[in-house]
């Protein structure tokens, strides 16, 4: 009797071990491999300073990719995020340059709120065009990508938009260059955004609805889930994440241009896919996404430190990574 | 079986099946069935839903291979090539859902996949002329240059037949060809079919419509539960005797004892003059604790009606009232809150998230019950799963298994549990036992009966007549979007339901 119970638990454990989802583990395994590879290429690579630096620079893509995780989990796609960064950043700097509020601290607070609202509205527009307008998300956001990019070029007249007030610059700088308890602010923001996102996706009704809609919209509808509202909110979350990325981006250079955020949609979607989220929806992996964003930045870093591949090839390498990640995902699905 | 030699179309046997058996995943659906088709005859294949007609048709047209038995073509044993390649042998199937690409022209459709070329360029002129010739042969006025999407359903049917003829079909299978046709269109179709028959083409006509079978066909073969029952010239049968042959079986002990409802119980659901695109003017009531059955042929509008009641489909007119309160049209969530839940017949594509675990599926429709302000409590969800597994006897070895890997029976129990999590007072169950084994069927019947004893009201929609008869104390029969009969007590029998469902008998809905 006793032994049979024991056998059963052992059996159970063996099965659990086999049931570990390779897709959830794969990105972290890839990250560790990259770290080892980097250490071999250049001993400076594995230093805490260099890694903190890499993590800091991955912040923009990581945060945008968190938003993309929601959109992709619900079965949609947002191609406009790169253009949206440029557009929201331009609006934010123009707002601060307008000087409607004299006090720098108050102005900064207002500008932050302004950027958050602008980002959310851009996301809402994408969501409504996709759901109410019933246009494929690929086409809808390809259109808004052109619109946001075009508006940015027009606002900047083809050049750059620069934050003028030195006092504002001074109090805003720490948002990117400062640190809290020795940890750079961007890394803190990444962690905070990821924790909140993981909570929403895994522990709330809305998160469950996102996964249900992405995995089978018919099942969601038959279960009384407001499918279009869920999808639209995912786009708004994406807009919000873009706004947060902008809040970190603006203090770094204090300016934006028509070329800000070019190909960031490729990087964000790559981070999501590398992280193990299924591109056809239905399985969101927030921590995997962060891992994916970090992997992308690491690859760039290794290229820079190693000197055997030109850093001008970075876009080509990232494009290759997303294709390889899709191939790996598919072969893992087939095996299971 | 004895082979008949009398009757119309007394030609040589073209295509025949000898002792054909077929199993899917260990479930046998055909048991040593014999069937033969002579040159120049129209042969009706009849049987209830699930009797094995479609499987036999697929085997005889090469879309499925038999598990055992042989097929002969012109007296020689053959193995039919799969995926429609049997067309080259002159065996053509006209599907229930048309196989025409909407954005092609009639000519392009006819020559799809075997386009005629001259010097490597499409010979449009020749193809158009050939299409015209075939359409004229059929007496059809369809324009050979028209887009398929612009044609009426009857004309599309005609193009399908033209396609069959242009491929020199000798054997044509027609699966419910008149389901979507008006009476005039049906007459025209029959005229063409008879004409082709007289030229030697053989037809297998699968239909539920007894009157049409009587009118059109030369011989009838009846299947029941995957077995051959009888083959006979149509002229010596009548509708009644065919219906008798199709159903004649006794109810087993599958079903729990029926509990006659109290006529004084309050009415919890009333549907008043409800219409959608297809459903017309449906009115009925359900009392507390009642099990009301909905019977009818596939395509009679039952699912559409139920989805309209449950808010999954908007209503064109009419009202749904639960305990005096109107249920808004097209709002699933509102219907849920008012105590009505609909359990889909399509558990794999509309009921369960196949890649998600049991818990995520179980609570999907009732997440409000598991935490405040949108937060979900894993402990509360785990308890719900524990309760549901006990209550509905969901047997899985690993509680973390994804729904797609569970057996059909366990999936069905999980789906029922999911719907019951919303604590509905009125439950609409569409095809409660589709594709599950007999043991689980029996369990589900007992769950349904227990729910009714609890004071819940249940509507059972089923294409399996014994199920409706075994469970329900009242049965509505639908036909072409309307309730054509409401049977109670002793009136509930397969023959009686079949008469209404096939249109042999009509009565104002009660």
pLDDT digits (tens, 9 = 90+) for A283-298: 789 999 999 999 999 9
Q: Three-state DSSP class for B466?
A: helix
Taking 3-state DSSP, the helix, strand and coil percentages for chain B, each rounded to the nearest 5, stand at 35, 25, 40
CA atoms within 13 A on the CB side of A100: 11
Q: How confident is the model at residue A14 (pLDDT cuts 50, 70, 90)?
A: very low
User: What DSSP element (H or E) covers B486?
Assistant: strand B482-488
Task: Please give the pLDDT value at position A44.
Answer: 80
Q: Name which of A224-228, A295-299, B92-96, B320-324 the model is least confident about.
A: B92-96
Could you tell me which residues come within 8 angstroms of residue B117 by beta carbon, excluding any fewer than 6 positions away? B123
Taking 3-state DSSP, the helix, strand and coil percentages for chain A, each rounded to the nearest 5, stand at 80, 5, 20
Distance CA(A93)–CA(A190), nearest Å, equals 23
Is residue A213 within 8 angstroms of chain B, CB to CB?
no
User: Is the distance from CB of A63 to CB of A269 less than 8 angstroms?
Assistant: no
Per-residue pLDDT averaged across B350-379, rounded? 91
Is the ipTM of this structure higher than 0.90?
no
Residue B193 above 70 pLDDT? Answer: yes
Sheet of B91-94, strands arranged across: B76-78, B68-73, B13-24, B27-38, B227-233, B219-224, B42-46, B202-206, B171-175, B91-94
Distance CA(A323)–CA(A161), nearest Å, equals 35
What backbone torsions phi and psi does residue A290 show, to the nearest 5 degrees? -60, -45
Q: How many residues does chain A have?
A: 336
Interface contact A221-B332, CB threshold 8 A: yes
Could you tell me which residues come within 8 angstroms of residue B336 by beta carbon, excluding any fewer than 6 positions away? A224, B365, B422, B424
User: Quick one: CA dihedral B292, B297, B302, B303, positive or negative?
Assistant: positive
Interface contact A282-B375, CB threshold 8 A: no
User: Is the distance from CB of A76 to CB of A239 less than 8 angstroms?
Assistant: no
Distance CA(B220)–CA(B8), nearest Å, equals 12
Distance CA(B111)–CA(B423), nearest Å, equals 56
Interface contact B371-A222, CB threshold 8 A: no
Q: How confident is the model at residue B2 (pLDDT cuts 50, 70, 90)?
A: very low
Distance CA(A271)–CA(A216), nearest Å, equals 23
Query: What residues in B contact A282, CB-CB < 8 Å?
Result: 353, 355-356
Task: Please give the pLDDT value at position A334.
Answer: 57
Task: Please give the pLDDT value at position B96.
Answer: 58
Query: What residues in A contact B306, CB-CB < 8 Å?
Result: none
Rg (CA), chain A: 21
Q: CA torsion B285→B433→B462→B180, rounded to 10°?
A: 130
Q: How confident is the model at residue A20 (pLDDT cuts 50, 70, 90)?
A: low
Task: Please give the pLDDT value at position B501.
Answer: 86
Task: Please give the pLDDT value at position A189.
Answer: 96
Could you tell me which residues come within 8 angstroms of residue B405 by beta carbon, excluding any fewer than 6 positions away? none
Among the partner-chain residues A205, A221, A283, the one whose CB lies closest to the CB of B367 is A205
Assign 3-class secondary structure to A72-139: HHCCCCCCCHHHHHHHHHHHHHHHHHHCCCCCHHHHHHHHHHHHHHHHHHHHHHHHHHHHCCCCCHHH
Is residue A226 within 8 angstroms of chain B, CB to CB?
yes
Task: Please give the pLDDT value at position A6.
Answer: 43
Q: How confident is the model at residue A21 (pLDDT cuts 50, 70, 90)?
A: low
Residue A177 above 70 pLDDT? Answer: yes
Q: Three-state DSSP class for A191?
A: helix
Residue B146 above 60 pLDDT? Answer: yes
Distance CA(A74)–CA(A80), nearest Å, equals 17
Distance CA(B441)–CA(B406), nearest Å, equals 16
Is residue B118 within 8 angstroms of chain A, CB to CB?
no
Mean pLDDT score of chain A:
89
Q: Among the ranges A242-246, A260-264, A318-322, which has the highest mean pLDDT value?
A: A242-246
User: Is the distance from CB of A275 to CB of A288 less than 8 angstroms?
Assistant: yes
Interface of A with B in 271-290 (CB under 8 A): 282-283
Is residue B349 within 8 angstroms of chain A, CB to CB?
yes
Distance CA(A312)–CA(B228), nearest Å, equals 74
User: Is the distance from CB of A269 to CB of A66 less than 8 angstroms?
Assistant: no
Q: How confident is the model at residue B85 (pLDDT cuts 50, 70, 90)?
A: confident
Which residue did the predictor score with more confidence, B249 or B392? Answer: B392
Per-residue pLDDT averaged across A92-99, rounded? 93
From residue A110, alpha-carbon distances to A93, A116, B453, B471 in Å are 12, 10, 63, 67
From residue B414, alpha-carbon distances to A22, A53, B310, B421 in Å are 27, 50, 20, 10
Assign 3-class secondary structure to A270-323: HHHHHCCCCCCCCCCCHHHHHHHHHHHHHHHHHHHHHCCCCHHHHHHHHHHHHH
Could you tell me which residues come within 8 angstroms of residue A314 by beta carbon, excluding any fewer than 6 positions away? A300, A303
User: What DSSP element (H or E) covers B294?
Assistant: strand B291-296
Among the partner-chain residues B351, B367, B378, the one whose CB lies closest to the CB of A222 is B351
Mean pLDDT score of chain B:
85
Q: Among the ranges A301-315, B82-96, B162-176, B410-424, which has the highest mean pLDDT value?
A: B410-424
Per-residue pLDDT averaged across A140-152, rounded? 97
Assign 3-class secondary structure to B265-288: CCEEEEEEEEECCCCCCEEEEEEC
Per-residue pLDDT averaged across B220-246, rounded? 85
Among the partner-chain residues A206, A212, A224, the one whose CB lies closest to the CB of B333 is A224
Task: Please give the pLDDT value at position B507.
Answer: 65
Q: Name which of A69-78, B63-72, B169-178, B265-274 the model is least confident about.
A: B169-178
* Beta strands, E only, B49-194: 68-73, 76-78, 91-94, 117-118, 121-122, 171-175
What backbone torsions phi and psi does residue B340 show, to the nearest 5 degrees? -120, 130
Residues facing residue B306 across a β-bridge: none
Interface contact B374-A225, CB threshold 8 A: no
Q: Three-state DSSP class for B397?
A: coil
Could you tell me which residues come within 8 angstroms of residue A207 by beta carbon, excluding any fewer than 6 positions away? A200, A201, A284
Residue B264 above 90 pLDDT? Answer: no
Which residue did the predictor score with more confidence, B96 or B233? Answer: B233
Among the partner-chain residues A208, A215, A219, the one whose CB lies closest to the CB of B350 is A219
Residue B6 above 60 pLDDT? Answer: no
Query: What residues in A contact B374, CB-CB < 8 Å?
Result: 204-206
What is the per-residue DSSP string for B18-61? EEEEEEETTEEEEEEEEEEEETT-EEEEE--TTSSHHHHHHHHT
Distance CA(B230)–CA(A225), nearest Å, equals 50
Encode pLDDT of B236-246 as tens digits: 888 778 877 87
Is residue B500 within 8 angstroms of chain A, CB to CB?
no
User: Is the distance from CB of B459 to CB of B475 less than 8 angstroms?
Assistant: no
Interface contact B354-A216, CB threshold 8 A: yes
Report residue A147 CA to chain centroid gap.
21
User: Closest approach of chain A CAs to the CA of B153, in angstroms?
Assistant: 27
DSSP tag of B331: -
What backbone torsions phi and psi does residue A317 show, to the nearest 5 degrees? -65, -45
Interface contact B375-A223, CB threshold 8 A: no
Cβ-Cβ contacts under 8 Å between A and B: the total is 70
Per-residue pLDDT averaged across B177-192, rounded? 77
Query: What residues in B contact A221, CB-CB < 8 Å?
Result: 312, 332
CA atoms within 13 A on the CB side of A250: 31
Per-residue pLDDT averaged across B92-112, rounded? 78
User: Is the distance from CB of B413 to CB of B440 less than 8 angstroms?
Assistant: yes
Per-residue pLDDT averaged across A306-334, rounded? 81
User: Is the distance from CB of A198 to CB of A291 less than 8 angstroms?
Assistant: no
Among the partner-chain residues A12, A211, A223, the one whose CB lies closest to the CB of B365 is A223
Percentage of chain B lying above the pLDDT 70 cut: 92
Per-residue pLDDT averaged across B282-298, rounded? 91
Task: Please give the pLDDT value at position A229.
Answer: 96
Which residue did the predictor score with more confidence, B277 or B427? Answer: B427
| Residue of chain B with shortest Cα separation from A216 | B353
Distance CA(B367)–CA(B363), nearest Å, equals 6
Sheet of B291-296, strands arranged across: B340-343, B426-430, B457-461, B291-296, B474-479, B482-488
Per-residue pLDDT averaged across B139-168, rounded? 82
Among the partner-chain residues B333, B336, B367, the one whose CB lies closest to the CB of A208 is B367
Task: Please give the pLDDT value at position B506.
Answer: 73
Report residue B363 CA to chain centroid gap.
30
Task: Please give the pLDDT value at position B365.
Answer: 92
For residue B495, give the nearest of B473, B471, B475 by alpha carbon: B475
User: Quick one: CA dihedral A213, A214, A218, A223, positive or negative?
Assistant: negative
For residue A133, give the nearest of A88, A86, A76, A85 by alpha carbon: A76
Q: How many angstroms separate the first and last alpha carbons of chain A? A: 34
Residue B7 above 60 pLDDT? Answer: no
Q: How confident is the model at residue B29 (pLDDT cuts 50, 70, 90)?
A: confident
Interface contact B398-A219, CB threshold 8 A: no
Could you tell me which residues come within 8 angstroms of residue B303 by beta carbon, excluding any fewer than 6 positions away? B345, B430, B461
Q: How many residues does chain B have?
A: 510
Report residue B467 CA to chain centroid gap.
15
Per-residue pLDDT averaged across B347-369, rounded? 92
Percentage of chain A lying above the pLDDT 70 cut: 93
Task: Please give the pLDDT value at position A220.
Answer: 95
What is the per-residue DSSP string for B92-158? EEE-SS----TTSBHHHHHTTTS--EETTEE-HHHHHHHHHHHHHHHT----TTSBGGGS-HHHHHH
Per-residue pLDDT averaged across B361-377, rounded? 90
Encode pLDDT of A219-261 as tens digits: 999 999 999 999 999 999 999 999 999 999 999 989 999 899 9
Interface contact B349-A219, CB threshold 8 A: yes
Could you tell me which residues come within 8 angstroms of residue A307 by beta carbon, excluding any fewer than 6 positions away? none
Residue B398 above 90 pLDDT? Answer: no
Q: How confident is the model at residue B98 (pLDDT cuts 50, 70, 90)?
A: low
Task: Please give the pLDDT value at position B277.
Answer: 85
């Amino acid at each position: 009797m006793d032994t049979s119970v024991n056998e059963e638990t052992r059996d159970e454990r063996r099965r659990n071990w086999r049931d570990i989802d390779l897709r959830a583990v794969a990105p972290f395994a890839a990250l560790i491999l990259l770290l080892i590879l980097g250490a071999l290429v250049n001993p400076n690579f594995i230093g805490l300073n260099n890694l903190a630096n890499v993590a800091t620079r991955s912040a923009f893509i990581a945060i945008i990719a968190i938003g993309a995780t929601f959109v992709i989990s619900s079965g949609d796609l947002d191609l406009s995020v790169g253009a949206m960064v440029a557009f929201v950043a331009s609006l934010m700097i123009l707002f601060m340059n307008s000087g409607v509020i004299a006090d720098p601290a108050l102005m900064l607070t207002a500008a932050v709120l302004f950027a958050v609202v602008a980002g959310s509205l851009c996301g809402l527009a994408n969501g409504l065009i996709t759901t109410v307008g019933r246009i494929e998300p690929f086409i809808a956001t390809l259109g808004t990508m052109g619109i946001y990019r075009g508006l940015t070029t027009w606002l900047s007249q083809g050049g750059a938009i620069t934050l003028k007030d030195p006092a504002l610059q001074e109090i805003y700088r720490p948002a990117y260059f400062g640190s809290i308890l020795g940890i750079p602010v961007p890394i803190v923001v990444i962690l905070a955004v990821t924790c909140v996102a993981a909570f929403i996706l895994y522990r709330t009704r809305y998160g469950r609805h996102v996964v249900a809609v992405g995995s089978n919209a018919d099942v969601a509808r038959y279960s009384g889930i407001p499918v279009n509202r869920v999808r639209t909110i995912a786009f708004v979350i994406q807009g919000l994440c873009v706004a947060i990325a902008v809040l970190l981006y603006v203090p770094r250079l204090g300016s934006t241009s028509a070329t800000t955020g070019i190909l960031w949609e490729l990087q964000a979607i790559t981070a999501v896919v590398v992280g193990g989220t299924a591109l056809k929806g239905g399985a969101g992996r927030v921590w995997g996404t962060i891992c994916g964003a970090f992997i992308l930045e690491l690859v760039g870093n290794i290229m820079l430190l190693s000197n055997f591949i030109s850093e001008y090839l970075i876009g080509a390498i990232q494009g290759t990574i997303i294709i390889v990640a899709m191939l790996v995902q598919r072969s893992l699905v087939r095996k299971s | 079986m004895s082979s008949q030699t009398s009757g119309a179309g007394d030609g040589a046997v073209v295509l025949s099946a000898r002792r054909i058996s077929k199993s899917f995943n260990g479930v046998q659906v055909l048991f040593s069935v014999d069937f033969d088709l002579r040159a120049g005859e129209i042969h009706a294949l009849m049987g209830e839903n699930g009797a094995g007609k479609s499987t036999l048709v697929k085997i005889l047209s090469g879309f499925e291979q038999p598990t055992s038995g042989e097929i002969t073509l012109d007296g020689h044993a053959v193995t039919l090539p799969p995926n429609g390649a049997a067309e080259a042998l002159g065996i053509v199937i006209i599907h229930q859902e048309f196989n025409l690409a909407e954005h092609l022209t009639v000519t392009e459709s006819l020559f799809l996949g075997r386009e005629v070329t001259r010097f490597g360029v499409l010979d449009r002129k020749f193809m158009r002329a050939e299409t015209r010739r075939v359409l004229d042969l059929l007496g059809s006025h369809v324009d050979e240059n028209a887009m398929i999407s612009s044609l009426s359903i009857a004309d599309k049917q005609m193009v399908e037949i033209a396609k069959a003829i242009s491929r020199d079909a000798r054997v044509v299978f027609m699966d419910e060809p008149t389901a979507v046709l008006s009476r005039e269109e049906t007459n025209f179709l029959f005229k063409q079919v008879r004409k082709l028959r007289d030229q030697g083409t053989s037809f297998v006509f699968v239909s539920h419509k007894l009157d049409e079978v009587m009118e059109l066909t030369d011989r009838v073969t009846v299947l029941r539960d995957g077995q051959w029952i009888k083959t006979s010239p149509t002229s010596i049968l009548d509708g009644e005797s065919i219906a008798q042959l199709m159903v004649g079986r006794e109810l087993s002990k599958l079903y729990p004892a029926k509990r006659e409802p109290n006529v004084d119980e309050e009415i919890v659901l009333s549907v008043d003059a409800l219409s959608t695109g297809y459903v017309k003017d449906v009115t009925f009531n359900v009392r507390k604790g009642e099990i009301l059955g909905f019977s009818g042929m596939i395509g009679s509008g039952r699912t559409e009606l139920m989805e309209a009641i449950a808010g999954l489909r908007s209503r064109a007119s009419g009202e749904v009232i639960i305990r005096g309160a109107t249920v808004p049209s097209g709002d699933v969530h509102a219907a849920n809150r008012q105590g009505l839940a609909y359990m889909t017949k399509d558990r794999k594509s509309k009921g369960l998230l196949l890649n998600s675990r049991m818990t995520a599926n179980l609570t999907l429709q009732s997440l409000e019950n598991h935490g405040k302000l949108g937060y979900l409590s894993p402990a509360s969800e785990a308890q719900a799963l524990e309760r549901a597994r006990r209550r509905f006897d969901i047997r899985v070895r690993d509680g973390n298994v994804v729904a797609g890997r569970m057996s059909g029976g366990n999936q069905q129990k999980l789906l029922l549990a999911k719907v019951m999590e919303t604590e509905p007072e009125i439950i609409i169950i569409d095809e409660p036992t589709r594709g599950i084994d007999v043991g689980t069927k029996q369990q589900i019947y007992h769950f349904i009966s227990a729910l009714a004893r609890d004071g819940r009201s249940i509507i059972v929609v089923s294409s399996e007549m014994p199920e409706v008869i075994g469970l329900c104390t009242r049965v509505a029969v639908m036909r072409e979007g309307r309730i054509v009969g409401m049977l109670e007590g002793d009136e509930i029998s397969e023959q009686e339901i079949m008469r209404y469902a096939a249109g042999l008998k009509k009565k104002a809905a009660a």
